[in-house]
């Protein structure tokens, strides 16, 4: 069963999402070449603490960081550490917030300084694919209408969609039913209803879709070593259409 949220729940989830979006905005401003991914992680912890919220990823299944920070060929679940961020990198920041038991989840991929045009196009396509996916998150559509809109857009641009990682329901837990793949045929899967809340999160690659997990057991990288981009919003399905909870 996919949980349905009440209006009160949605208000709390929006609050959580607004905190997260504000934290992301501050991190975006702070990002610069010469920082390590750990520097960025410590900042995210500080910003979340100031908002009197809890970092939702820290300790989740043993994840050691506050944020998942994935650089260039890293797709998702990058562990913050000594990796130096350099001009020309693209940095995916994925962060979750727990505010009084209500969870939100968001990711952005940011260019650092002057970045090669292929990577910029990839970032653009990932951002746009998320927007298209969000548009499908309305009552009466099927879940896979979201998936299909993302995949068809991304592949038409000549990029590929990661298969191994998918979006998810979210609310009073970080991960709830259903899974939200970024690929699939239209008109399949559960019918979307008002009150469902979904974390929609396309991860798309410059080269092939295949991924492998690094020896740390967490970080997913592209099998061909080419760049990857990731965008995510927490979105409520409502009678008035999709409502993005993680947008300021
Ligand atoms: Mg997520």
Q: What is the mean pLDDT of residues 145-172?
A: 98
Q: Where are the domains of the chain?
A: 7-244
For residue 226, pLDDT beyond 90:
yes
> For 74, what's the count of Cα atoms within 13 Å in the CB-facing half-sphere?
23
pLDDT tier, 103 (very low <50, low <70, confident <90, very high otherwise): very high
* Distance from Cα 231 to the centre of ligand 1, integer Å: 9
User: In the prediction, which pLDDT does 130 show?
Assistant: 98
Distant-in-sequence, close-in-space partners of 84: CB < 8 Å, separation ≥ 6: 34, 35, 36
User: In the prediction, which pLDDT does 189 show?
Assistant: 97
* Distance from Cα 95 to the centre of ligand 1, integer Å: 8
Q: What is the mean pLDDT of residues 1-21?
A: 97
Which tokens belong to 99? 């505010």
* Distance from Cα 102 to the centre of ligand 1, integer Å: 14
Q: What is the pLDDT of residues 161-212, one digit of tens each?
A: 999 999 999 999 999 999 999 999 999 999 999 999 999 999 999 999 999 9
Q: What is the mean pLDDT of residues 132-139?
A: 98
**pTM, 2 dp:** 0.98
Given CATH 3.90.230.10, say whether it is the number of domain 7-244.
yes
User: How many angstroms from the chain centroid is the CA of residue 118?
Assistant: 21
Q: What letter does residue 60 receive in the DSSP assignment?
A: G
Task: Report how far apart the first and last C-alpha atoms of the chain are (Å, whole number).
Answer: 30
């Amino acid at each position: 069963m996919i949980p349905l949220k009440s209006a009160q729940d949605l208000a709390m989830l929006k609050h959580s999402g607004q905190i997260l979006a504000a934290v992301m905005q501050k991190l975006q401003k702070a990002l610069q070449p010469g920082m390590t991914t750990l520097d960025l992680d410590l900042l995210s912890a500080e910003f979340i603490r100031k908002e009197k919220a809890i970092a939702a990823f820290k300790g989740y299944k043993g994840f050691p960081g506050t944020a998942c920070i994935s650089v260039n060929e890293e797709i998702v679940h990058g562990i913050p550490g000594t990796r130096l961020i350099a001009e020309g990198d693209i940095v995916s920041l994925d962060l979750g917030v727990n505010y009084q038991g209500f969870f939100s989840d968001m990711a952005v991929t940011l260019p650092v300084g002057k970045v090669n045009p292929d990577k910029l196009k990839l970032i653009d396509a990932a951002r746009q694919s998320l927007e298209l996916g969000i548009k499908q998150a309305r009552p009466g559509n099927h879940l896979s209408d979201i998936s299909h809109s993302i995949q068809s857009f991304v592949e038409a641009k000549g990029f590929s969609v990661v298969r191994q990682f998918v979006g998810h329901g979210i609310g009073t837990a970080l991960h709830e039913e259903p899974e939200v793949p970024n690929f699939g045929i239209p008109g399949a899967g559960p019918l979307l209803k008002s009150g469902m809340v979904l974390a929609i999160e396309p991860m798309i690659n410059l080269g092939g879709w295949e991924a492998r997990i690094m020896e740390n057991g967490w970080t997913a990288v592209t099998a061909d070593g080419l760049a990857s981009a990731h965008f995510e919003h927490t979105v409520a399905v409502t009678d008035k259409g999709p409502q993005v909870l993680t947008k300021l």
